[in-house]
């Protein structure tokens, strides 16, 4: 008897027309037709003989071709006897010990940052700085040193390139401070990886918080954390808090609701506000159209810009994918989105 099974790090998500097969350890995925999902959905100890008995010879031949492809990509493996199922990754639960998983701070000057640092709590998993001025390298060093002293262990920095800074300046900063996980150098001369996966230079201008919220295949995260969190909570806003460029405290700088200002309110106080957590647990399975999408568990959500601004369960505005046709279109030119684009003044 011949069987096949998924590798332990692999799982499936069914969409309206297609399904998504993911390897959450190797961060890879592929789309498959839902007809094949019906063959694979048991995931472990699937009998090849039983499939042969169930399907017509022509269909079985097509299925075998798919299985050969999936074996070559290390999604499945064949075996002669049933094997014990050690771990089904899809049944795991997401948990985090951090009070804040993501803190976003938007700043327009070093002076503004120095004032905010007095209010940054310790129990933060990742701090993302978005710097909306052409920051000199010495200012960057000053900022990162302050965060090191505060014992922040993981920071991402997005900032406007200053022409006085060199690539070597950015490389030295990265290697001098192990707490830096990523740097995005915006307004650069061209697009390049100064250090692959760590220092990414982009010619795109950094203008405002309205640039976030885009959904694309390039931004998919087929890893265990994204998968588990997207199933149990909001993949963007869960345990997230932000300080916008005016000092207003929000779930995200792109959201309109403000819970106070950092000048006279602490983040700890805001975290205790019952309304602050309202968006944390909206999952992709509750969101219009997303709930029918095969990519919903590897995609980061956006509640800041949605297709129907008065409906918090509406599809992200900046997503151009249609799970009913499996086609990607440019979201910004879609006439059905024009009213929402006008509403947000994008």
pLDDT given for residue 208 in this prediction: 86
- For position 88, what pLDDT does the model report? 79
Per-residue pLDDT 10s for the chain (346 aa) are: 899 999 999 999 999 999 999 999 999 999 999 999 999 999 999 999 999 999 999 999 999 999 999 999 999 999 999 988 877 777 788 888 888 999 999 999 998 998 898 889 888 999 999 999 999 999 999 999 999 998 899 999 999 999 999 999 999 999 999 999 999 999 999 999 999 989 999 999 988 888 899 999 988 999 999 999 999 999 999 999 999 999 999 999 999 999 999 999 999 999 999 899 999 999 999 999 999 999 999 999 999 999 999 999 999 999 999 999 999 999 999 999 999 999 999 9
Q: At what angle do helices 167-176 and 137-149 cross, to 10 degrees?
A: 10
Contact 235, 298 (CB under 8 A): no
Q: Please report the pLDDT score of residue 85 as a whole number.
A: 80
- pLDDT on residue 165: 97
Question: What is the residue extent of each domain of the chain?
Answer: 3-91, 100-207+240-279
Quick one: CA torsion of 42, 47, 49, 53, rounded to 10 degrees? -20
According to the model, what pLDDT value does residue 97 have? Answer: 84
3-91 CATH: 3.90.930
User: Can you say whether the dihedral through the CA atoms of 115, 121, 122, 125 is positive or negative?
Assistant: negative
What's this model's pTM, rounded to 2 decimal places? 0.90
Rounded Cα distance between 286 and 284, Å, is: 5
Residue-level pLDDT at 89 = 79
SS3 letters across the chain: CCEEEECCCEEEEECCCEEEEEECCCCEEEEEEHHHHHHHCCCCCEEHHHHHHHCCHHHHHHHHHHHHHHHHCCCEEEECCCCCCCCCHHHCCCCCCCCEEEEEEEECCHHHHHHHHHHCCCCEEEEEEEEEEECCHHHHHHHHHHHHHCCCCCEEEEEECCCCCCHHHHHHHHHHCCCEEEEEEECCCCCEEEECCCEEECCCCCCCHHHCCCECHHHCCCCHHHHHHHHHCCCCCCCEEEECCCCEEECCCCCCCCCCECCCCCHHHHHCCHHHHCCCCCCHHHCCCHHHCCCCCCCCCCCCCECCCCCCCCCECCECEECCCCEECCHHHCHHHHHHHHHHCC
């Amino acid at each position: 008897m011949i069987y096949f099974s998924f590798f332990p790090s692999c799982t499936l998500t069914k969409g309206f027309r297609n399904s998504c097969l993911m390897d959450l350890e190797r961060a890879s995925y592929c789309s498959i037709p839902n007809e094949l999902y019906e063959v694979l959905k048991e995931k472990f100890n699937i009998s090849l003989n039983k499939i042969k008995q169930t399907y017509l010879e022509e269909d079985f031949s097509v299925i075998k071709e798919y299985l050969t492809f999936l074996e070559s990509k290390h999604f499945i493996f064949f075996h002669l006897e049933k094997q014990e199922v050690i771990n089904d990754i899809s049944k795991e639960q997401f948990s985090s010990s951090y009070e804040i998983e993501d803190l976003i701070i938007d700043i327009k000057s070093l002076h503004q940052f120095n004032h905010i640092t007095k209010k940054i709590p310790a129990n933060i998993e990742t701090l993302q700085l978005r710097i909306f001025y052409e920051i000199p390298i010495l200012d960057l060093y000053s900022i990162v040193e302050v965060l090191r002293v505060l014992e922040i262990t993981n920071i991402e920095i997005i900032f406007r390139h200053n022409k006085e800074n060199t690539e070597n300046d950015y490389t030295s900063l990265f290697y001098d401070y192990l707490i830096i996980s990523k740097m995005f150098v915006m307004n650069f001369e061209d697009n390049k990886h100064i250090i692959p996966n760590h220092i990414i230079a982009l010619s795109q201008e950094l203008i405002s918080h309205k640039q976030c919220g885009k959904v694309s295949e390039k931004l998919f995260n087929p890893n265990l954390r994204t998968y588990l969190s997207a199933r149990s909570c909001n993949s963007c806003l869960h345990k997230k808090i932000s300080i916008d460029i005016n000092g207003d405290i929000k779930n995200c700088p792109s959201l309109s609701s403000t819970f106070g200002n950092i000048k006279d309110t602490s983040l700890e106080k805001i975290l205790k506000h019952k309304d602050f957590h309202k968006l944390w647990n909206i999952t992709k399975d509750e969101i219009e159209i997303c709930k029918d999408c095969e990519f919903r568990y590897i995609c980061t959500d956006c509640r800041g810009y949605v297709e129907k601004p008065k409906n918090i369960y509406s599809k992200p505005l900046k997503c151009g994918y249609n799970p009913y046709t499996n086609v990607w279109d440019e979201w910004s030119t879609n006439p059905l989105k024009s009213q929402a684009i006008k509403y947000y003044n994008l």
